[in-house]
Amino acid sequence: MPEIRAFLAIDLDDDLKPKINRIIKEFRGTDANIKYVDLANLHLTLKFFGDIDVEGIDLLGQKISDVVAQFDSFSIKIRGCGAFPNSNHIKVIWVGIEDDNVLRDLHDRLDAEFKKLGFEADRKFSSHLTIGRMKSARNKDKVKSAIESFGDVEVGEMKVEKIILKKSTLKASGPIYDDIKIFEL
C-alpha cells in the first residue's frame, strides 16, 4: 500500500514571518553551516508521524477531529530563541512558544489518541518553531552568541484557529509540504 510522510502542524501567521526572517538574517551573518527553514514552511509541529499508510488517513483524521472538537481557538505568544539539544551542542535552532498550556493540552490529548492507533507517544513535547539546523560546528561560538542575544526576542502573538495534517515530500532542495486536511478549532 502507498505511504506518505506526514505530520500534524500549526502554520505560522504570515504577518509574523518578517520578524522571524530578521532573526534568520542575524544567524546568516555568523557564516555558520546552517540549513534554514524556508519562511513558507515555518510551522509548529504537533506530531510527526513518519511514513503512514494512505489507507489510515481517514481514521487518523477522525481522531484529530474528535480531539479538535474539544477546543476553541486560542492565542500563542512566540518569544525567545534556543537550541536543541543545548547551546553547547547545537543541532536545531528554534524560536519558542510562551504560555503554551492550551497548546500542551491539545498535544497531549492528540498524542493519547494517536497512541491508540499504534503511534509511539512523544517522549517530551517542546513547543517551538524550528528556524534552522546546524550542519557542522563551524562558527558555533558565533551561533551560540546569536542564540543568547535572541533569548528574550518578542516575535508576536497569533491566534490558532486550525491545525493541519500535512504531507512532506523530501527533495534535494528541501522539503515540500502539502496540506492533506485542515481541522478548524
Distances (CA, A) of 74 to 63, 70, 112, 118, 137: 20, 12, 21, 29, 38
* Residue with the three cell numbers 492533506: 180
Task: Compute CA 39 distance to the chain's CA centroid, rounded to the nearest angstrom.
Answer: 12
- DSSP H helix total and E strand total for the chain: 4, 9
As annotated, the active-site residues are 43, 128
Look at phi and psi of residue 80 and say left if phi exceeds 0, alpha if psi is from -120 to 50, else beta: left
The secondary structure element, H or E, covering residue 169 is strand 162-169
Locate 135 and state its grid cell.
Answer: 550542519
In terms of Cα–Cα distance, which of 13, 12, 31 is closest to 139?
31
The contacts of residue 155 (CB under 8 Å, 6+ apart) are 16, 19, 20, 23, 78, 79, 95
